[in-house]
Amino acid sequence: MNITIENILLIGSLLLFLSIIIGKRAYKYGVPTLLIFLIIGILAGSEGIGGIYFDDPKIAQFIGLVALNFILFSGGLDTNWNTVKPILKEGLALSTLGVLMTATALGTFVWLLTDFKFYESMLLGSIVSSTDAAAVFSILRAKSLSLKTNLRPTLELESGSNDPMAYVLTIAFLTLVLHPEQNLLSLMPFFLLQMVVGALAGLGFGKLSKLVINRISLSFEGLYPVLAIALMFITFSATDFVGGNGFLSIYICAVYLGNQDLIHKKTIMRMYDGLAWLMQIVLFLTLGLLVFPSKIVPVLGIGILISIFLIVVARPIGVFISLLFFKMNLKRRLYISWVGLRGAAPIVFATYPLLAGIEKAGMIFNIVFFISVTSVLIQGTTLGVFSKWLKVALPKEDRPSYPTDAFLAENPKTAMKEIKVGENCYAVNKKIVRLNFPKKAIIAMIERNGSYVVPNGATVIEPNDVLIVLSDTQEGLDEVEVCIQSGEPE
């Protein structure tokens, strides 16, 4: 079946519907939903029962880049800086040195095992060197895994921040395959430019985005998520335009925004959570359509060997070397090694050799696809089992909840107080978002002139308002009162 303008919406909506319904059922049996999306895409493809012919790597790459923007941005918004800060060094080591060591180990293995040239082998190793943010975020959060000693934030930080390194290595070795007269040292300026500019641009655009969101006055609450999308794409494309790494910049931008007070932050984060799932489904369906199963069969043998080596040798090498100078017990290191999920990102990166037209591009793509499927199938289904075997899972009674926005979720508070705003209070004529409000407290309602107002970040405090404040502790209420009266930091 050929996709036309007339039937694309029907086909697309049916595939989405099937993915959600079947994914819900499959999850009960421990099958990762991402794998279901991929299988549905394959079945709908030209060699499946759907018969939809799709063989355009350029379109698939574009869809992949757009989807990864949403997935990384959503993951960044959900990243709690206070949770990440204690393990920041470990996470950055895993996302840089760990990726490099994994790529080197796997590339060397492929070079010794196959007829691939050295740079072609390193290109394959680079493409699958990073853990996949879509796979890690969705599986960890869907399974509600509660892990000891900052393991979960370590894994999420690594998966959210290591795609930029894999992307840079992929582009670097693809350049060397196309231009073998060059060497790695000649590409060092490219690497430094990508990382430094990407990091600085991410922080800069994060601060600018906060200013724009909080200062602009939009008539409808629903426009704020749209504004956030525009700022996300501006961050990615502008960073890429000046030579920086767009993936790194949007992740840093999102982490910054997720830890700031924003107008309609709850609305923005809920929308991104839904869009991230939509993009994961669309991405895996698209990649499934792009694959021809008949071309996977010839690489099954070599694919199995490479997959096994990646899971049990290359990934552990990357983890153990990158964490060599950190205090961490063996069980934690082993579990981090096992959560080396490969998913959509490597398949998207594998489209770059296809578009470049190198000799081994087709074989590389099919091997990468096979590696991603086996990784999600083997590692994704056993994360819970391994956490119990290695005793890194928290007991049920000690497990915290992980809502998308824990503070704004409808959790019960233990303390309440009514605070009247005097005419000389610091908070008068200021938006709530600009009050440096304590993180563990909320203004549930405002009594104003005999009526009640349900506030949001854009609500302006007026003289004689009575604020009904809820907090986790009495100390939190005291901090709120100080904030309202004098504006002193919490």
CA–chain centroid gap for 160, Å, is 5
Going by pLDDT thresholds of 50, 70 and 90, the confidence category of residue 178 is very high
For residue 2, is it left (φ>0), alpha (ψ between -120 and 50) or beta?
beta
End-to-end CA, the chain: 62
Asked if pLDDT for residue 439 goes beyond 80, the answer is no
**In this structure, which amino acid lies at residue 462?**
E
Instruction: Write the DSSP string, 381-396.
Output: TSHHHHHHHTT-BPPG
pLDDT over 50 (residue 447): yes
For the chain, how big is the Rg over CA atoms in Å? 24
Q: Given this model, what pLDDT does residue 143 score?
A: 55
Please determine, for residue 45, whether its predicted confidence score (pLDDT) is greater than 50. yes
Contact yes or no for 108/388 (Cβ under 8 A): no
User: Could you give the CA distance from residue 268 to residue 102 in angstroms, rounded to a whole number?
Assistant: 36
pLDDT for 450 equals: 79
pTM of the prediction?
0.78
Write the DSSP assignment of 360-387 as a string of letters: THHHHHHHHHHHHHHHHHHTTTSHHHHH
Helix ranges (H only) for 114-222 are 118-127, 133-142, 151-161, 163-178, 188-215
The structural domains of the chain, with segments of one domain joined by +, span 8-398, 415-485
What's the average model confidence in pLDDT over 247-254? 93
The Cα-based distances of 294 to 42, 297, 300, 374, 381 in angstroms read 11, 6, 11, 17, 26
Q: What is the distance, to the nearest Å, from the Cα of residue 440 to the centroid of all Cα atoms in its chain? A: 26
Could you report the per-residue pLDDT of 188-220, keeping only the tens digit for each? 888 889 999 999 999 999 999 999 998 888 888
4: which 2 tokens? 């036309």
Percent of the chain with pLDDT over 70: 89
Could you confirm whether domain 8-398 is CATH 3.30.365.10? no
For residue 461, is pLDDT > 80?
Answer: yes
- Which contiguous run of DSSP H or E holds residue 342? none
Mean pLDDT computed over every residue of the chain:
84
Identify the CATH number of the domain defined by range 415-485.
Answer: 3.30.70.1450
Backbone conformation region of residue 380, classed left if phi is above 0, alpha if psi is from -120 to 50, else beta: alpha
Those residues whose C-beta lies under 8 Å from the C-beta of residue 343, and which sit 6 or more positions away, are: 34, 132, 134, 135, 284, 372, 375, 376
Residue 151 to residue 144: CA distance in whole angstroms: 13
Percent of the chain clearing pLDDT 90 (strictly above): 31
Sheet of strand 415-420, all strands in order from the earlier edge strand to the far edge: 415-420, 466-471, 441-448, 451-453
> What pLDDT shows up at residue 405?
40
pLDDT of residue 490: 43
What's the CA gap between 55 and 52, in Å, rounded?
10
The pLDDT tens digits for 330-363 are 988 999 999 888 877 888 899 999 999 898 899 9
